[in-house]
Amino acid sequence: MGKYVVLSDSIKKRSSEKLARSFGAHWARLGNQTVVWTAEWNVFNNKAREAGINLDQQEGAELEGQLYLVIQTGRSFLDTYPDVRIVIDKGRYLVVALPPEEVCRFSENKDNWWTMRPLPMDGVIMDIIKPMARAGVPSINANIEAVSQSTYSSYLMSLVNFLTRYSLSFQFISAMDWAEDELQSFGYQTELCPIDVGDGNSYNLVADRPGNGDGIRKLVLVTAHLDSINIRDGVNAPAPGADDNASGAAGVLEIARVLAEYSPKHDLRLILFGGEEEGLYGSRQYVSRLPKEERTRISAVINMDMVATLNTASPSVLLEGAPVSRSLIKELAEAAATYTSLTIQTSETPFNSDHVPFIDELIPAVLTIEGTDSSNTNIHTANDTLDHINYELALDILRMNLAVTLKLLEI
């Protein structure tokens, strides 16, 4: 038993985090909110008052049981459990309070769409940052501006026109074949790699462009899942998946088109995964089959999954990685500040996209995803269509990813 308080005021937040460290309380920050919790509420509250911090909720809220972090795709958790006590709601990330008798209700979660874990203590779960733009006139500016709405939107349209890209459908194979033809036409070496998706078979598409550097070259991966799904109406129903994830797959093709003009020092690999919606089958199998020689050469994996729906007043992107990808997140944030007008959120709690299997093997991977993706309620239904696509947002995310890819390839 204890109490908790949620603080939004930035001065109170920072000083409470400091106080918590000294007086046995714990804290976790999500964007502009910090939750502080302790079994010794009176001690903490008195110390706060002595330090001149007037907590908004002097009484604190009763905490029966424990605080948990939920990470959800869409509003999957909230839709299933509307009665759970929400402490902080940041869309993809929730802090919930569960009394002990409630915990078992969630212990056998077989749902891929959300995960629950004890709230990590004394750290930042999700941050909103203002990185510095790089100084001087960036030399790669011309290349960044080569991303084009007309080619990007034509790729997007082609993918959506397959009606579904359900991993076990013949349309998925047709979509893979089409993407392979495009990548070959840009000059990439391609390979369709079979994967298992449960009892069925599907594919990953891998496209390579070797670098021309001497000695051991690094390997840079740009990835997205090609498959789509309609969970609401079943696997035979239309699943246009315009945002999830034709937007990311078309992004891989657009970056491929722009990079085809250059001969990089390091090796570039583009991957379109299958079986993502069924539980990351394509990326898990890809990572498990990676030869050790290649695994150790991977300097970055930049994954795009849902990059084209504007859910926030101003365009924003979430960079989701782990401690292993901290420097890649920093590079991406700096590139965003230099070349785009994106607001940047960051997180080191990776969940449910193709960056996770890489991170599990300590390979630096980052998911780039539209900010507040959980507000996009059209995904996994027939309503995930082109008319919800925001090209400005998508192109800004592409510019950020292209800038970092160019830098890592030493073009």
Binding site for Zn ion (CB under 5 A): 244-245, 305
CB-based contact 263:212 (threshold 8 Å): yes
> CB-based contacts of 56: which residues, under 8 Å, 6+ apart?
5, 7, 9, 12
Nearest to 395, CA basis, from 156, 205, 73: 156
Q: Which is nearer to Zn ion, 244 or 370 (CB)?
A: 244
Least distance in angstroms from the C-beta of 370 to Zn ion: 11
- Cα–Cα distance for residue pair 329/365, rounded to 1 Å: 9
3-state secondary structure of 148: coil
Q: Which is nearer to Zn ion, 245 or 345 (CB)?
A: 245
Least distance in angstroms from the C-beta of 105 to Zn ion: 27
Q: Which is nearer to Zn ion, 254 or 354 (CB)?
A: 354
Q: Which is nearer to Zn ion, 102 or 276 (CB)?
A: 276
CB-based contact 136:197 (threshold 8 Å): no
Least distance in angstroms from the C-beta of 225 to Zn ion: 6
- Please give the single-letter amino acid code of residue 302: I
Least distance in angstroms from the C-beta of 305 to Zn ion: 4
3-state secondary structure of 368: strand
Q: Which is nearer to Zn ion, 398 or 409 (CB)?
A: 398
Q: Which is nearer to Zn ion, 305 or 396 (CB)?
A: 305
The DSSP line for 55-89 is: -SSTT-EEE-SEEEEEEESTTHHHHH-TTSEEEEE
Least distance in angstroms from the C-beta of 277 to Zn ion: 7
Query: Up-side HSE of residue 300: CA atoms within 13 Å toward CB?
Result: 25
Cα distances from 314 to residues 60, 162, 332, in angstroms, run 33, 31, 18
Burial class (CB in 10 A: 0-12, 13-18, 19+), 132: exposed
Q: Which is nearer to Zn ion, 36 or 356 (CB)?
A: 356
